[in-house]
Structure 1
Amino acid sequence: MAVVSVATWLAPMNLAIVAVALFLGYFLLRPNRWRGNPPPGPSGWPVVGSMFELGNRPVIFFNKMSERYGNIFSLNMGQKRVVVVNSYETWAEAIVEKGHIFADRPDLASFKLQEAGDQSRGVAFTRASEIQRKKIKFVRAAFNPAIPEVAERFYTILSSEVALLMQDIAKENGKPFDPHHVIEFCYVNIIGMLLYGKIFQERNEQYMKWAATFVRRLALGSCMLVDWFPSLAYITSGKAKELKRLVQTMMDWHMKLLEEHRQTLNESNPRDFLDYLLIQQQKGKLMVSDTDICCVLDDLQSNGFDTVTANTIWGIQLLVQNPDVQKKLQAEIDEVVGSGRAPTTKDFRNMPYLEATLWEIQRVAIMAPIPGARGTLSDTTLGGFDIPKDTVLMANHAKMAMNPINFPQPQKFDPSRYLDENGVVVAPDKKMMLFGNGFRICPGMQFARGMMFTVMANLLQRFTFQLPEGVTAFPVGRTDGLVQYPVSYKITAIPR
């Protein structure tokens, strides 16, 4: 009788265990099957789908798939179903015509981490609910420039901080410098003053660390493994741990501000947005916890300063690359404002070429090529295809921005494309919706546009921007993350 060694006996046993584990893993981790008539798309790899094809720049993969499958396609991403739309028409169908269905945020681990572990908190990554609607309504009212006292406070803060920005740039004495941090510092202080009356006096080590925390969070908070495999939530990755730590750092900072405000709160004389929140909380009109208030502040601060900073940094680069546009803008500013006073938000409607230029900067820079994902609240259809409940919807803004049908010669930087024959601005939101729409429209849209207009108008009134002597081109490329900046560059600001 032959003797069978233990190793020989275990070999097929091990293979069987591995086979069973893979079999069970496939059925436990696979996404729910698409039913009906799903959008076309790649099948991807077993279990993981297309998740490893995204890389650090998902938009590259999305553009490639759009060439193959058209304006709408589907992906399997681990256990999640994802639909990507590449045209304005399909995007408008989702968030305008069917905005009540696509009003949710998907249940993603990174979104939870951004809201301190609970997607019922905050306003940016929060799931759709009645309390979420109340918070959004409150934020819109608090930042409504149509309210005189709101507009006056915004005007005062904006004018003061922009004046300091002009001083900072003038100190460069026409020498090469990186405009990123001075621009960012200005926006951080504007938004900080509006939210909780807090500003940084100087760009010291403490400030740089604080700003870097926000930027790092935006770089981390997308496409984590656990986003696509919720059943692996008990396994915490290094990125998830880092994101959790960074969020907690900002929660602690905001909680300290909250306690300081509560101790000095005067209900009859609110000083800032945080005071208004605390008053609503105390009166029981907005049933939110202190942690929820901190998440709201955190969302507004981080999503506020980073996007306007990125747009302005892109804008300066684009104007240096297009000196004819820069000259036209300066001529318009000289005609409307002159040199005797600083431009303000009140000049906005009298400068159509600058308004059109800001739209074109946003289109060409496309600093957020894939904005915040949406989630479906019920089964629906989109572009003629069946979309199940709990599907993740993503918009490929980069593809929309370069659509030659809506934007002839899309590679060309041309602000005049938004001006009609009478020189009146025709906003491109009917072709892109850069600030979203419906329930999820950016609540600070008017403030963001007012800030970018005032900063750019003051910069061009005071300075002409050029590449440093001996430099013939900007570095090529952009950073990774939810908000993307151009590669760091230096320019000279020549006093006019």
Structure 2
Amino acid sequence: MLLIISSIFLILFLLIKWYFNSTKTKNSPPSPPKFPIIGNLHQLGLFPHRTLQSLAKEYGPLMQLHLGSVPVLVISSPEGASEIMKTHDRVFANRPQTKLYDILLYDCKDVSTAPYGEYWRQIRSISVLHLLSAKRVQSLSTVREEEIGLMMEKINHCCSTSLPVNISDLLSTTINDIVCRVALGRKYSGESGKGFKKLLLDFTELLGTFVVGDYVPWLDWMTNVSGFYARAKKVAKQFDDLLEDVVEDHINRRKGASDEQVCLDTEDQGGDFVDVLLWIQRTESLGFPIDKTVIKALLLDMFSAGTDTISTLLEWSMTELLRHPNIMKKLQEEVRSVAGNRTHITEDDLGNMKYLQAVVKETLRLHPPIPLLVPRENRQDITVKGYHIKAGTRVIINAWAIARDPAYWDQPEEFKPERFLNSSIDIKGNDFHLIPFGAGRRGCPGIVYAMVANELVLANLVHQFNWELPGLETLDMSETFGLTMHRKTPLLAVATLKNK
């Protein structure tokens, strides 16, 4: 009997020792006090990039939060970002999986949210090699120049009325038209395309929605009861139906064509992305099969990552130029000098416009379209900057805060494109002071595509027209936060032809 009692006490002692050892707090990053159940959720506020910046000033550039039951590491310094996206890039290469992503993005079969692994490597290679390579981007220059030409005609028409141009709406429509032609082979604008534009707006709004059930699972029933998931499923079904029709139409049009002819069309004559993906599927040219679901998931990435972000950046570029007429004038002088007597800027001109490139970089610094980069997640326990980060921690990199840190930027709140004229800092993920597109394995593969579109649109806007604010109107700089960081109110400006 004594032996049994002694054994029970020994087992209890060992269990208690194991419990305290296993729950003993390791050297975790600094963390603000948290509430039971919700943790630090109440501290995020309406503009998380700003509140996280404020918290980081108090608790440090590597800070741990607890959003409900989810541990979150917040990075607010270039050194910390380098640790995550370079030094330990492989460990932090995973994406958190959410119910909303599953609904909207074909169970995370797209490049942006797919779990790290062989499948992700395969589909990313499709994007890098066949959809967003420099050669592919260049082959689609005619599409961009045609749509920008149509945009210029709309502005020219407004000049005769002296009414303000809704720049926000104009840029959104133009970028949507470019992406639709590049990805799907046709536009979905005008009266017949209103449904598509509404669908795209609903889709991007849903993607940027905070879902409490992701952080407090037992409250997910509230999201269900509210009808949010039902709405997401409806939008996903509508988008799927549209993409299904597009893919089937391309299949029918390609019937009877040889692989060689399809390859010629897609590689040399600027075939749209559906053509390219169907050719890859048909020939298995990459050594692995892809099905229709993968094709549709990759097309969805183009819309979620290639429309809202580009138009938002252009919107903020024009906002800052209107706020700073002297910078607008300097940019116009450069663009008009390069263009000479020509009415339109072409992509061949962009390499000679250093100040234009500086303006775009400075806009990306002050107004990154996605201020909190798409979250990552570590696949194993790891030590970062001396802190223990347990597996499954969600990592948020505050690119907005990093780009405004006075320790690295002179007058960080000021719009000063000149800071980039003699600077080696780039935006391709090699310099962690400026990471609007992320970096490392999960960095955005569409940098070349995005930058060409931004520079070409902006150059043409300032080349052909002079711009000013309507009357004595004060420029509202308020922002909204979602998937991207938009202006709160549409940007309106009066355009006049440059020779008037």
The question of a shared fold, defined as TM-score above 0.5 by the shorter chain, is answered with: yes
Indicate yes or no: 2:272 matched with 1:272. Answer: yes
Q: Is the 8 A contact 1:196 1:257 kept in 2?
A: yes
Q: Is the 8 A contact 2:369 2:485 kept in 1?
A: yes
Match of 2:170 in 1: 182
> Aligned-pair distance for 1:160?
0.9
Indicate yes or no: 2:170 matched with 1:203. Answer: no
Q: Is the 8 A contact 2:358 2:417 kept in 1?
A: yes
Match of 1:238 in 2: 227
Q: Is the 8 A contact 1:466 1:492 kept in 2?
A: yes
Instruction: State the one-letter code of the partner of 1:326.
Output: M
SS at match of 1:193: helix
Deviations 1:149-169 (A, max 9, x none): x24422111111111111111
> Aligned-pair distance for 1:238?
2.7
Deviations 1:44-71 (A, max 9, x none): 1112212233243222331221121010
Change (3 A) 1:380 1:262: same
Deviations 1:249-302 (A, max 9, x none): 212111111111112224332432112212222334443332222111011122
Residue pairs, 1:477-488, within 5 angstroms: 477-486=478-487, 487-488=489-490
Q: Is the 8 A contact 2:399 2:435 kept in 1?
A: no
Change (3 A) 1:34 1:401: farther
Match of 2:201 in 1: 215
Instruction: State the one-letter code of the partner of 1:249.
Output: Q
Q: Is the 8 A contact 2:65 2:73 kept in 1?
A: yes
Match of 1:321 in 2: 323
Match of 1:399 in 2: 401
Of 352-361 and 485-494, more deviation after overlay is shown by: 485-494
SS at match of 1:479: strand
Residue pairs, 1:121-270, within 5 angstroms: 121-147=109-135, 150-173=136-159, 174-200=162-188, 202-204=189-191, 206-221=192-207, 222-230=209-217, 236=224, 237-265=226-254, 266=257, 267=259, 268-269=261-262, 270=266
Q: 1:87 is matched with which residue: 77, 80, 87? A: 77
Of 236-245 and 369-378, more deviation after overlay is shown by: 236-245
Match of 2:68 in 1: 78
Deviations 1:154-203 (A, max 9, x none): 21111111111111111111421211122111111211122121213x43
Deviations 1:57-92 (A, max 9, x none): 222331221121010111111221111101111011
> Aligned-pair distance for 1:341?
4.4
Q: 1:300 is matched with which residue: 299, 302, 312? A: 302
Q: 1: CA distance between counterparts of 2:345 and 2:126?
A: 30
> Aligned-pair distance for 1:234?
6.3
Q: 1: CA distance between counterparts of 2:211 and 2:144?
A: 37
> Aligned-pair distance for 1:426?
4.1
Q: 2: CA distance between counterparts of 1:319 and 1:183?
A: 15
Instruction: State the one-letter code of the partner of 1:274.
Output: V
SS at match of 2:485: coil
Change (3 A) 1:168 1:437: same
Instruction: State the one-letter code of the partner of 1:248.
Output: K
Match of 2:42 in 1: 52
Instruction: State the one-letter code of the partner of 1:484.
Output: M
Q: Is the 8 A contact 1:219 1:480 kept in 2?
A: no
> What is the alpha-carbon root mean square deviation over aligned residues?
2.1
SS at match of 2:396: strand
Deviations 1:205-235 (A, max 9, x none): x433322333333333342012113456566
SS at match of 1:264: helix
Q: 2: CA distance between counterparts of 1:70 and 1:193?
A: 46
Q: 1: CA distance between counterparts of 2:105 and 2:367?
A: 28
Q: 1: CA distance between counterparts of 2:279 and 2:27?
A: 50
Q: Is the 8 A contact 1:475 1:488 kept in 2?
A: no
SS at match of 2:203: helix
> Aligned-pair distance for 1:315?
0.9
Of 103-112 and 206-215, more deviation after overlay is shown by: 206-215
> Aligned-pair distance for 1:144?
4.5
Aligned residues: 455
Match of 1:460 in 2: 462
SS at match of 1:122: coil
Deviations 1:399-430 (A, max 9, x none): 1121112211011110010111xxx7642552
Match of 1:439 in 2: 441
TM-score normalised over the length of structure 1: 0.87
Q: 2: CA distance between counterparts of 1:142 and 1:219?
A: 29
Match of 2:420 in 1: 418
Structure 1 residue ranges (4+ consecutive) displaced by more than 6 angstroms after TM superposition = none
SS at match of 1:491: strand
Q: Is the 8 A contact 1:332 1:353 kept in 2?
A: yes
Match of 1:427 in 2: 426
Match of 1:386 in 2: 388
> Aligned-pair distance for 1:396?
1.1
SS at match of 1:485: strand
Q: Is the 8 A contact 1:280 1:286 kept in 2?
A: no
Q: Is the 8 A contact 2:91 2:378 kept in 1?
A: yes
SS at match of 1:381: strand
Of 456-465 and 365-374, more deviation after overlay is shown by: 365-374
Change (3 A) 1:425 1:465: farther
Deviations 1:95-115 (A, max 9, x none): 112111111101222322331
Q: 2: CA distance between counterparts of 1:129 and 1:232?
A: 31
Q: Is the 8 A contact 1:310 1:483 kept in 2?
A: yes
